[in-house]
């Protein structure tokens, strides 16, 4: 698994371009006698393994993501990225390797009744929604799953500690554009036009009232304006000003509320000044909401295998987003984090100077997690079929 992981790490591929990785995954699965299906979500791969006690009526889905990030790697160890400007900075190389390890083990220990669907998805990063693309290609119609599970490594948490949480565990991610249209003109004669910059600047502040005044203080949400664009000259009032940014919430209800109020502000505030405004709001990933019973089940398996001291059952939510949330909108299941440690696993001389955090150019997946993660997968699958 370490050799596989480092091979994938050295050959990072971006969203929907994971052809080498998918070739590798498909070849490994086939060599272990697992039925391989390709082309779901362009580069996604599904391995289907039937138990030797019969296909039974039940099936479990276990998922790894395969894509890398458009960023340079600062590490200089032997398995550092060979593709300039691309890096496995989120540990999807490790997720893929440990699911392959579990697939190999289960292929040679088929003493169960039912079906395991190994789901290797493309394009988790950057709002590309590879999970949704696989669903659009009939993932759960062609490979029905009674339950589906996912894991992600978590730097900073002690190596091999598991974090579970029932309900909302990760945020929805959404992006917006607001265009304020005024009337441009000479900067020395503002009375002859309608200045969109002054309106947009005021709107940045007013938008913060959506968080502080519109939603309940109990509900968590973030609204960040991250871009302001307007004008090209010192002495010209432009026609337009554009604001862009992101919104994160842990429920769809709060998201609906926020989008409605943002639209009201974007459209009516400019009217006060004789301008017009328009909101374009794009929902990328929904909140990741873990199902209660599958979460208890997965946490019980982790506790039984690794001990209660290694398992956090009520971990705090994380404001990041994850497209496994699309799976959980349709199929019961649960997603957890496994601690990646503090970076002490990296080679002393050849790693980058930065922290071993996700999306940092000095990050590296901790190979000590490979046997832990694949053991979790194997035990989870076995317990699922034992459970009946
Ligand atoms: Zn990531
Ligand atoms: Zn990731």
* pLDDT tens digits for range 350-375: 777 788 999 999 999 999 999 999 99
Centre of ligand 1 from the C-alpha of residue 170, in Å: 13
Angstrom distance (rounded) from CA 281 to CA 211? 16
DSSP H or E segment with residue 269: helix 252-272
* pLDDT tens digits for range 46-85: 999 999 987 677 999 999 999 999 999 999 999 999 999 9
User: How much is the average pLDDT of 35-48?
Assistant: 98
DSSP H or E segment with residue 61: strand 59-65
Confidence check: pLDDT of 348 > 80? no
User: How much is the average pLDDT of 157-183?
Assistant: 97
pLDDT of residue 331: 98
Centre of ligand 2 from the C-alpha of residue 339, in Å: 13
Is residue 199 within 8 Å of 270, Cβ to Cβ? Answer: yes
* pLDDT band at 115; cut points 50, 70, 90: very high
Centre of ligand 1 from the C-alpha of residue 264, in Å: 33
User: How much is the average pLDDT of 238-246?
Assistant: 98
Ligand number nearest CA of 150 is: 2
Helix, coil or strand: residue 69 = strand
Centre of ligand 2 from the C-alpha of residue 88, in Å: 9
Helix, coil or strand: residue 195 = coil
User: How much is the average pLDDT of 79-94?
Assistant: 97
pLDDT of residue 351: 79
Confidence check: pLDDT of 189 > 70? yes
Residue among 290, 40, 36 at smallest CA distance from 140: 40
User: How much is the average pLDDT of 127-155?
Assistant: 97
Centre of ligand 1 from the C-alpha of residue 89, in Å: 7
User: How much is the average pLDDT of 8-16?
Assistant: 98
Centre of ligand 2 from the C-alpha of residue 125, in Å: 7
Centre of ligand 1 from the C-alpha of residue 125, in Å: 6
* pLDDT band at 241; cut points 50, 70, 90: very high
Centre of ligand 2 from the C-alpha of residue 152, in Å: 7
User: How much is the average pLDDT of 243-251?
Assistant: 97
pTM metric for this prediction: 0.92
Confidence check: pLDDT of 186 > 90? yes
pLDDT of residue 149: 98
The CA radius of gyration of the chain, in Å to the nearest whole number, is 24
pLDDT of residue 28: 98
Q: Give the orientation angle of helix 92-108 with respect to helix 2-10, to 10 degrees.
A: 140
Confidence check: pLDDT of 107 > 70? yes
Centre of ligand 1 from the C-alpha of residue 124, in Å: 8
What are the strands of the beta sheet with 59-65, ordered from one edge? 35-40, 44-50, 115-121, 59-65, 147-155, 333-341, 162-163, 311-312
pLDDT of residue 353: 78
pLDDT of residue 54: 75
Confidence check: pLDDT of 20 > 80? yes
* pLDDT band at 344; cut points 50, 70, 90: confident
CA angle 49, 339, 91 (to 5 degrees): 60
Outline where 308-367 has alpha helix (H).
324-330
pLDDT of residue 55: 65
């Amino acid at each position: 698994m370490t050799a596989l992981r480092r091979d994938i790490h050295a050959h990072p591929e971006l969203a929907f371009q994971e052809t080498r990785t998918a070739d590798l995954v498909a070849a490994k699965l086939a060599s272990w006698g697992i039925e391989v299906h390709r082309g779901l979500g362009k580069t996604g791969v599904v391995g289907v393994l039937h138990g030797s006690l019969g296909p039974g009526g039940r099936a479990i889905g276990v998922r790894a993501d395969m894509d890398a990030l458009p960023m340079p790697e600062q590490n200089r160890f032997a398995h550092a990225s060979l593709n300039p400007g691309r890096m496995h900075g989120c540990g999807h190389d490790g997720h893929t390797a440990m699911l392959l390890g579990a697939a190999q083990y289960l292929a040679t220990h088929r003493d169960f009744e039912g079906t395991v669907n190994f789901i290797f998805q493309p394009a988790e990063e950057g709002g590309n929604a590879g999970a949704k693309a696989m669903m659009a290609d009939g993932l759960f119609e062609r490979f029905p799953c009674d339950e589906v599970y996912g894991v992600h490594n978590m730097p900073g948490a002690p190596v091999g500690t598991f974090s579970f949480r029932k309900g909302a565990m990760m945020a929805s991610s959404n992006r917006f554009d607001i265009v304020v249209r005024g009337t441009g003109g000479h900067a020395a004669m503002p009375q002859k036009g309608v200045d969109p910059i002054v309106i947009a600047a005021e709107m940045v502040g007013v938008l913060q009232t959506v968080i502080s005044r519109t939603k309940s203080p109990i509900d968590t949400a973030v609204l960040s304006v991250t871009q302001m664009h307007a004008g090209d000259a010192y002495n010209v009032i432009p026609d337009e000003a554009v604001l862009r940014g992101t919104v994160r919430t842990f429920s769809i209800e709060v998201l609906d509320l926020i989008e409605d109020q943002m639209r009201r502000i974007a459209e009516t505030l400019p009217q006060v000044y004789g301008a017009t405004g328009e909101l374009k709001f794009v929902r990328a990933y929904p909140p990741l909401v873990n199902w209660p019973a599958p979460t208890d089940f997965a946490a019980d398996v982790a506790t039984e295998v690794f001990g209660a001291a290694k398992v956090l059952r009520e971990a705090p939510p994380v404001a990041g987003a994850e497209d496994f949330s699309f799976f959980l909108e349709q199929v019961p299941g649960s997603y957890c984090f496994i601690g990646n440690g503090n970076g002490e696993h990296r080679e002393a001389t050849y790693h980058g100077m930065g922290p071993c955090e996700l999306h940092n150019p000095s990050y590296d997946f901790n190979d000590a997690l490979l046997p832990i993660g694949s053991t979790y997968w194997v035990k989870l699958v076995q317990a699922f079929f034992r459970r009946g």
